[in-house]
Amino acid sequence: MQTFKGGIHPPDKKELSKDNPITPQKAPKKVLIPIIQHIGAPSKIVVSTGQTIKKGELIASPEGFVSAPVHASVSGKISGIIDYPTPTGRMVSCVAIENDMTEEWTTLKDNPDYMSLSPDELKAKIKEAGIVGMGGAAFPTHVKLSPPKEKPIDFVIINGAECEPYLTADYRLMLERPEEIVQGLKILMKILDVTKGFIGIENNKPDAIRVLSDTTKSERDIKIVTLKVKYPQGAEKMLIKACANREVPPRCLPMDVGALVQNIGTTVAVFEAVRFGKPLIERVITVTGEAIKEPKNLYAKVGTLISDLIYECGGFKSPAAKVISGGPMMGFAINTLDMPITKGTSGIVALPEEELLHVDNFGPCIRCGRCIDACPMGLMPNMLSIMSEKGFYEETKEYNLFDCFECGSCTYVCPSKRPIVQFVRLAKSLTKP
């Protein structure tokens, strides 16, 4: 079984929601759609208050190349454009739409014969649909699909690792919509003109491996790769190492070794955009955690308030002490449930008090070296944390500060409960690469 060096084995807690099929969310009364849901330039609002709008209609158009359009996720009347908090902690302009419950779609352009389109036409459709990476980083997909000429792509990897504990959205998609994943992958392969595609899946999802192997039986170019269960197996660089045995050098991108990685959800969105012309307005999101009464995998509309989603899952069965947007290893803790989900929100995890490990006073580093063994990037998190703690920010660069992608493995294993990731972020914010 293929994998990478380092990593950790946190309890995966996927049993809470893994057997619950994807259910469509009940139509929310109101959505608040943030106009920046991606990395890059903010989009420009093209609608105004009072206007009636149909589902799938454009509400914000991209500004510049690294940007993505935003579409309405319900039909109804725009009740205002207001600044609202988003899970990353940023205040973003949001278009508020009162749902008229008619679910009336704008006209979509159907393409039954999508495989005969040219790569540029396919890419244009993906751009129009406002597709961004749905694993969390939300980088516009059409930009990722446009590598510079001197860096040809050799293969596409679909990330079915879903190594974050608790989350099961990608797992359910693999079980329920394998055909669309495979078609999405073929579209990506056509756009990039490659003949090799991998779908990497962790070994704790044997049924997903089986279903996708069956679906791809006749596809000679697509290989299902069984990966060892280990966090962060789904990190781009670790996934490329495990699937294709190529190492992305420090400060380089996957395209430097000819690789392109896409998330499962993104791949399905790509298929829907190309086949049906459907913009990215809804996504599968896992609402789970020990504090949630009925954990579910919801097919949720972008812009739905987190409180509405939790309501739909039966609310809290015990008081929530921490609510996380995303997974517990790299997600963001949020301070209020009155916040909309975005294209990049893969899960909502609500933890009760007893699941939290409070660290009021972290201890000194005892130099046990567990973080060094856990670091998938081969760094020395112990040195980074000690130097940052003492204010030697410049010196942290000698220990490759900027190679850290903050997966949190070091902080997970630290017996002194040192907030290593926090120290790393502090140093990163106070130095220049």
Partner 1 sequence: MKSKKTTKNEIIIKADNLFVTVSPHIKSPESTAHIMWTVNLALLPTTFMGLYFFGPLAGITLVLSIVSAVAFEYIYQKALKKNITINDGSASLTGLLLGLNLPPSVPFYIPIIGSFVAIVITKQLFGGLGYNIFNPALIGRAFLLISFPKLMTIWKEPTSAFIQIDAKTSATPLGILKEEGLTKLIEIFGDTTNLYIQLFVGHRAGSIGETSAIAILIGAFFLLYRGYITWHIPFSFLATSALIAWIFGGKGALFTGDPIIHLISGGMLIGAFFMATDYVTCPTVKNAQIIFGIGCGMLTMLIRLKGGYPEGVMFAILIMNCFAPLIDRGFKSKPFGFKKTEKK
Q: Is the dihedral of CA 390, 393, 396, 400 positive or negative?
A: positive
Q: Give the strand pairing for 30-34 and 91-99.
A: antiparallel
What is the closest distance, in whole angstroms, from the C-beta atom of residue 365 to partner 1 in the complex? 5
Q: Give the strand pairing for 222-227 and 22-24.
A: unpaired
The answer to whether 381 and 396 have CB atoms below 8 angstroms apart is no
The structure tokens listed for 186 are: 């073929």
What is the closest distance, in whole angstroms, from the C-beta atom of residue 242 to partner 1 in the complex? 12
Contacts of 432 (CB under 8 A, 6+ apart): none
What is the closest distance, in whole angstroms, from the C-beta atom of residue 228 to partner 1 in the complex? 17
| Comparison of 34 and 136: residue with beta carbon closer to partner 1 | 136
| Comparison of 10 and 197: residue with beta carbon closer to partner 1 | 10
| Comparison of 133 and 376: residue with beta carbon closer to partner 1 | 376
Task: Tell me which amino acid residue 156 is.
Answer: V
The structure tokens listed for 272 are: 């829907």
Task: Tell me which amino acid residue 198 is.
Answer: F
What is the closest distance, in whole angstroms, from the C-beta atom of residue 389 to partner 1 in the complex? 11
Helix (H) or strand (E) holding 181: helix 178-192
3-state class (DSSP) for residue 432: coil
Helix (H) or strand (E) holding 348: strand 347-352
CA–CA separation, 30 and 166 (whole Å): 28
What is the closest distance, in whole angstroms, from the C-beta atom of residue 250 to partner 1 in the complex? 5
| Comparison of 129 and 257: residue with beta carbon closer to partner 1 | 257
CA–CA separation, 378 and 248 (whole Å): 13
| Comparison of 177 and 237: residue with beta carbon closer to partner 1 | 237
What is the closest distance, in whole angstroms, from the C-beta atom of residue 368 to partner 1 in the complex? 4
Helix (H) or strand (E) holding 142: helix 141-144
| Comparison of 39 and 337: residue with beta carbon closer to partner 1 | 337
| Comparison of 61 and 307: residue with beta carbon closer to partner 1 | 307
What is the closest distance, in whole angstroms, from the C-beta atom of residue 260 to partner 1 in the complex? 17
> Rg for the chain (alpha carbons), in Å?
21
What is the closest distance, in whole angstroms, from the C-beta atom of residue 337 to partner 1 in the complex? 5
| Comparison of 1 and 366: residue with beta carbon closer to partner 1 | 366
CA–CA separation, 184 and 172 (whole Å): 16
Q: Give the strand pairing for 222-227 and 197-202.
A: parallel
